[in-house]
């Protein structure tokens, strides 16, 4: 997994380097180096401006999430979606910490707060790895009894673990180097990728930054698109789960 991630990053670096080189060479051959230079400077300024805009949006919504958490709204929403969590993750025991982290992650995703859902997602994966250790899955147990999730080591009890290597969080080792994610890990990952969103905060901010007449006009199409993708993800996960049990 680490090798694949490193290869992907390296490939992106080469792609961007080639695109920049082609642009510079084309500008030089066509006598438009001044345009290339101006475009580079303008793009750098736009990037800084966009970052400042996104910092403000992020601060606003993370603050609202904090208020919602302190007021108990997040806890009520978490309890409200427990039947959905039980439907998707029937093998996670009730009261297990993984259920709370999964619920928090999904709520943040629905509200369009991708940056706020990441910590809960990592903790959910950590707790799912501990659950596999409790089930006696040898791929998650080291010689000293610490939970293993791929290349990640998790020590301590529920909620008190240490995630030392997140890139390998979703895998267990079976045999020599083979990594197999649990059914719950795969379901959780696929559900995150589909990501139902009621308020696409990032997209609204991008549209506003680049002069859209109606930045919020993306809300309805985004709800439809992400609802369809999430529905397909749920059906896919349940079908694969039934085939695995068969």
Tell me the CA distances in angstroms from 182 to 34, 42, 154, 241, one per residue in order. 55, 47, 16, 11
* Nearest alpha carbon to residue 159 among 103, 99, 92, 107: 99
- pLDDT score for 20: 85
> What's the confidence (pLDDT) of residue 172?
43
- In the prediction, which pLDDT does 53 show? 76
The structure tokens 């950590």 sit at: 126
pLDDT for res 23:
86
Q: Which domain holds residue 152?
A: 33-245
Residue 230 lies in a domain: yes
Distance CA 226, CA 3 (A): 31
Residues 45, 50, 53, CA angle at the centre, nearest 5°?
130
**Is there a domain that residue 24 lies in?**
no
Q: Residue 2: inside a domain, yes or no? A: no
Write the CA distances from 237 to 230, 232, 234, 244, integer angstroms: 10, 9, 5, 10
Q: Calculate the CA 135 to chain-centre distance.
A: 26
Instruction: Record the pTM.
Output: 0.61
In a domain, 110, yes or no: yes
- Weakly modelled stretches of the chain, pLDDT under 70: 1-9, 113-116, 138-180, 246
H or E element that contains 173: strand 173-174
Per-residue pLDDT, 143: 46
Structural domain includes residue 169: yes
How many domains does the chain fold into? 1
In a domain, 4, yes or no: no
Own/partner pairs, 78-85, CB within 8 angstroms, 24+ separation: 78/103, 78/104, 78/107, 81/106, 81/107
Whether residue 134 is contained in a domain is answered as yes
Beta bridge partners of 149: 152
Residue 114 is predicted with a pLDDT of: 66
Report if residue 22 sits inside a domain: no
């Amino acid at each position: 997994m680490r090798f694949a991630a490193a290869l992907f990053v390296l490939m992106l670096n080469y792609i961007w380097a080639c695109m920049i080189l082609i642009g510079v060479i084309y500008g030089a051959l066509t006598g438009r180096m001044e345009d290339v230079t101006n475009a580079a400077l303008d793009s750098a300024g736009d990037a800084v401006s966009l970052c400042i805009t996104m910092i403000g949006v992020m601060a606003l919504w993370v603050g609202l999430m904090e208020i919602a958490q302190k007021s108990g709204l997040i806890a009520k929403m978490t309890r409200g979606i427990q039947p959905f969590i039980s439907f998707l993750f029937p093998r996670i025991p009730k009261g297990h910490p993984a259920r709370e982290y999964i619920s928090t992650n999904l709520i943040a995703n629905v509200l369009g707060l991708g940056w706020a859902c990441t910590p809960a997602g990592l903790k959910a994966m950590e707790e799912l790895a501990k659950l596999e250790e409790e089930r006696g899955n040898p791929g998650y147990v080291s010689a000293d009894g610490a939970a293993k999730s791929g290349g990640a080591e998790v020590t301590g009890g529920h909620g008190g673990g240490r995630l030392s290597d997140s890139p390998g969080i979703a895998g267990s080792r079976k045999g020599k180097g083979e990594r197999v994610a649990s059914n719950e890990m795969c379901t959780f990952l696929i559900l995150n990728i589909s990501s139902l969103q009621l308020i696409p905060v990032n997209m609204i901010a991008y549209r506003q930054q680049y002069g859209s007449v109606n930045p919020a006009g993306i809300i309805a199409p985004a709800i439809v698109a992400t609802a369809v993708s999430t529905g397909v993800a749920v059906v896919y996960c349940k079908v694969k789960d039934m085939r695995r049990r068969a």
